[in-house]
A and B are shown apart, each in its own frame.
Chain A
Amino acid sequence: MGALNERRVTSLVLVLIAAALLSNTYGQQYAELGGAFSPMFFPRIILWMWLLIATLDLVAELVKRRETDKPEVLRVVIIAVSTVIFLWSMTRLGFFLSAVPFTALVLITLNARNPLPLIAVSVGVPMALVALFNHVLVLPLPTSPFAWWF
């Protein structure tokens, strides 16, 4: 796999992020009030610390090669992407309409193929949550643009 592996890449990315953020604190137009009054006073301390330790970590990773176990990439990607879509759409399409397809997709991805519990959970759980929060506790979850009651 060459010199790069997952651990080294992650460590490298962390170093780069710290460096980018740090250079950003010097480039921007912040009020230079000096010392404790400067908004960048504290973040600079923290970012220097981050950069320094992350560099040490990268060196440690480079000195000793360590591998991570192989993940089920497809499953993780499906679940991660669908979670983000669900979180995005829940305040737009409403909780119920977003949660049902999301739950079903997660269950199918995780090998739950028995149709009865699959449908029961993916429809029943969101329905129960909406009923509880929107109608019993009157602490409403986001509703769909189509009807105010779900």
Chain B
Amino acid sequence: MIELLPQAAALIFTVEGIAVLVLGTMLGIVLGALPGIGSTVAVAMILPFTLSMSQAPAILLLLAVYAGSVYGGSISAILINTPGTPQSAATCLDGYPMAQRGEAGLALGWSTIASTVGGLVSAVVLLLAAPQLAALALNFGPIETFALILLGLTCIVSVSEGSLIKGLVAGSIGLFLGCVGGDPITGEARFTFGQFQLISGFNLLAVVIGVFALSEVLIRAAAKPEQDQTLVAFKGIVLPPLSAWRGRWKGLAKSVAIGNGIGILPGTGAATAAFISYAEAQRSSPNRGNFGKGEPDGLIASESANNAVTGGALVPTLALGIPGDAITAVMLATLTLHGVTPGIRLMTDNPVLIAAIFSGFFVINLMLLPLGMLVSKAAAPLLRLREAYMLAMIVLLCAVGVYFVRGNPFDLMVMGAAGIVGFLLRRQGMPMAPLVIGMVLGPTLEISLRQGLIITDGSFAAFFVGHPIAAVLVCIAAGMLSLPLITKLRQRGKTRA
């Protein structure tokens, strides 16, 4: 692959190629920052424009929009507590508290650097080892996936700031919400209570935006009015000084590895990666006590992981011709449109094109920093508006975003209800992140568990015989679950004594 780089560079560094990369990344950032537009809609919007382009620029444009939108989602997550995409939900946890503290610029600085590093490393990994990794991913069957998701769920414990019990209640509610709709095995409608709209379940983004953004608007409205207050103070991205990185490198490296690894697996996705990485950082970071209160380590964990997923997700797509998610499916479709047959022979038949895609992806990630600064600079004046105007506009944007997710009027009502319920639960001190985690991971947990049981003829014990990866993952999950409980009990014992 490396020996093809000069040829690949010739494909990328043309006027059209560079224009496509710059404009695509910029557009991706803007669209990603608008709540609800998200990666899938952004990529689909761009699709018609690629029809008239030649192969390489067409794919590069889609990639640029994709990578840009994943990063862009963090901007609104940090500034207005509204994740632009589900994968940025974990970014809210520490990003928004930092912004409230008046460090919005710095928070964006951390997230930008983390995103860039995550993306760059995943591009290098793609370039060096895509076929090998794709083969490795095939070892991940339903049983291994089940174990991995179980591990992911343990982060509910770590994101339950305040009350562990309330966090677990929120997590159960989230898991339950994920069950509503057609049964994944039999297709029967569950908990729809005659509402045919519910057959497809609650839309994830509608619930996420409701419980994070809309409930925040209500909480703000419920607080005592303060005149001429702005929501957050923000002038532009402030890059953290190199010295501030001390002690954070290890966490960054680990998060990038987690993002890459999970991105390769089919059907898990960036939101899962961000949460698992966040949980791991909270377990091992030297600053773990500050998580949830605006700790840069938390931001680094989620942002580097979700951007690393973008590269990882391309591995099975390009190496096996099997799309991991909706976005990579669009890319495969675009390849077909341009006369390239996706499939296991893709890399052998079109080595230069693939090398160009990989290296273009590297260039895109390099541009996240300057373009991100530009976009957030432009967005800064908007944030200086008075709180009342901001709140009204957040609701409008949420409505527009959720409408575009799939054009379904019912989703808008779901968002409204989620906002009001989220407001009531948050007043009681219940954290909303576990609810979202439950809803993100629940469906995959259920289908992988039941698929596993079908394979083993209903024996749960057989999950761990002949599935060493699964056994190891479940052990780690058990450890992560019990450790904080033990520490908490000990602390309680000490304070009582």
Q: Which residues of B contact A95 (CB under 8 A)?
A: 399-400, 403
Of the listed stretches B11-19, B344-352, B419-427, chain A binds B419-427
B367-407 toward A: CB 8 Å interface, digit per residue (1/0)?
A: 00000000000000000001111011101100110011000
Q: Is B161 an interface residue (CB 8 A)?
A: no
* Docked-complex contact B183 and A99, CB < 8 angstroms: no
Q: Which residues of A contact B450 (CB under 8 A)?
A: 36-37, 41-42
Report which residue of B172, B185, B186, B227 has the largest number of chain A beta carbons within 10 angstroms of its beta carbon: B172
Interface residues of A in 43-92 (CB under 8 A from B): 43, 46-47, 49-50, 53-54, 56-57, 60, 68, 71-73, 75-76, 79-80, 83-84, 86-88, 90-91
Alpha-carbon separation in the docked complex, A103 to B416 (Å): 16
Interface residues of B in 406-423 (CB under 8 A from A): 409, 412-413, 415-417, 419-420, 423
- Contacts A39-B188, A39-B190 given: A90-B392 contact, CB under 8 Å? no
The count of chain A contact residues (Cβ–Cβ below 8 Å) is 64
Q: Is A129 an interface residue (CB 8 A)?
A: yes
Interface residues of B in 163-208 (CB under 8 A from A): 163, 165-166, 168-169, 172-173, 175-176, 179, 183, 185-186, 188, 190-191
- Contacts A43-B191, A53-B165, A71-B222 given: A110-B388 contact, CB under 8 Å? yes
* Docked-complex contact A46 and B179, CB < 8 angstroms: yes
Of the listed stretches B55-63, B132-140, B213-221, B473-481, chain A binds B213-221
The count of chain B contact residues (Cβ–Cβ below 8 Å) is 61
- Contacts A39-B190, A56-B165, A141-B400 given: A71-B395 contact, CB under 8 Å? no
Q: Which residues of B contact A110 (CB under 8 A)?
A: 221, 225, 387-388, 391-392
Distance of B484 from chain A, by nearest CB (Å): 16
Interface of B, helix, strand, loop or mixed by DSSP = helix
* Docked-complex contact B453 and A112, CB < 8 angstroms: no
Distance of B229 from chain A, by nearest CB (Å): 11
* Docked-complex contact A57 and B391, CB < 8 angstroms: no
Q: Which residues of B contact A133 (CB under 8 A)?
A: 400
Q: Which residues of A contact B224 (CB under 8 A)?
A: 72
Q: Is A35 an interface residue (CB 8 A)?
A: yes
Interface residues of B in 62-79 (CB under 8 A from A): none
Q: Which residues of B contact A49 (CB under 8 A)?
A: 168, 172, 175
* Docked-complex contact A10 and B173, CB < 8 angstroms: no
Alpha-carbon separation in the docked complex, A59 to B168 (Å): 15
Distance of B214 from chain A, by nearest CB (Å): 7
Q: Is B45 an interface residue (CB 8 A)?
A: yes
- Contacts A10-B424, A36-B185 given: A84-B165 contact, CB under 8 Å? no
Q: Which of A39, A83, A109, A112 contacts B416 (CB 8 A)?
A: A83
Report which residue of B169, B188, B191, B427 has the largest number of chain A beta carbons within 10 angstroms of its beta carbon: B169
Q: Is A121 an interface residue (CB 8 A)?
A: yes
Q: Which residues of B contact A86 (CB under 8 A)?
A: 395, 399
Distance of B383 from chain A, by nearest CB (Å): 14
Q: Which residues of B contact A76 (CB under 8 A)?
A: 218, 221-222, 423
B131-151 toward A: CB 8 Å interface, digit per residue (1/0)?
A: 000000000000000000000
Distance of A52 from chain B, by nearest CB (Å): 9
Q: Is B223 an interface residue (CB 8 A)?
A: yes
Q: Which residues of A contact B163 (CB under 8 A)?
A: 57
* Docked-complex contact A83 and B191, CB < 8 angstroms: no
* Docked-complex contact A36 and B458, CB < 8 angstroms: yes
* Docked-complex contact B186 and A72, CB < 8 angstroms: no
Q: Which of A50, A53, A60, A79 contacts B218 (CB 8 A)?
A: A79
- Contacts A42-B179, A46-B175, A57-B166 given: A72-B413 contact, CB under 8 Å? no
- Contacts A87-B399, A137-B45 given: A80-B420 contact, CB under 8 Å? yes
Q: Which residues of B contact A10 (CB under 8 A)?
A: 424-425, 427-428
Q: Is B454 an interface residue (CB 8 A)?
A: yes
Q: Which of B172, B218, B393 contacts A80 (CB 8 A)?
A: B218
Q: Which residues of B contact A68 (CB under 8 A)?
A: 427-428
Q: Which residues of B contact A126 (CB under 8 A)?
A: 396
Distance of B44 from chain A, by nearest CB (Å): 9
Q: Is A23 an interface residue (CB 8 A)?
A: no
* Docked-complex contact A107 and B179, CB < 8 angstroms: no
Distance of B40 from chain A, by nearest CB (Å): 13
Alpha-carbon separation in the docked complex, A148 to B394 (Å): 26
Alpha-carbon separation in the docked complex, A46 to B191 (Å): 13
Q: Is A31 an interface residue (CB 8 A)?
A: yes
Alpha-carbon separation in the docked complex, A87 to B454 (Å): 42
Distance of B224 from chain A, by nearest CB (Å): 7
Q: Is A21 an interface residue (CB 8 A)?
A: yes
Nearest to B44 among chain A residues (CB) is A139
* Docked-complex contact B222 and A72, CB < 8 angstroms: yes
Q: Which of A54, A72, A107 contacts B389 (CB 8 A)?
A: A107
Q: Which residues of B contact A107 (CB under 8 A)?
A: 388-389, 392
Q: Is A125 an interface residue (CB 8 A)?
A: yes
* Docked-complex contact B428 and A90, CB < 8 angstroms: no
* Docked-complex contact A75 and B404, CB < 8 angstroms: no
Alpha-carbon separation in the docked complex, A53 to B223 (Å): 30
Distance of A89 from chain B, by nearest CB (Å): 10
* Docked-complex contact B412 and A6, CB < 8 angstroms: no
* Docked-complex contact A142 and B403, CB < 8 angstroms: yes
Q: Is A7 an interface residue (CB 8 A)?
A: yes
Alpha-carbon separation in the docked complex, A42 to B442 (Å): 10
- Contacts A50-B176, A87-B412 given: A14-B190 contact, CB under 8 Å? no
List 8 extra interface pairs beyond A21-B176, A21-B191, A129-B400, CB under 8 A.
A39-B183, A50-B169, A83-B214, A83-B416, A106-B391, A110-B388, A111-B227, A117-B389
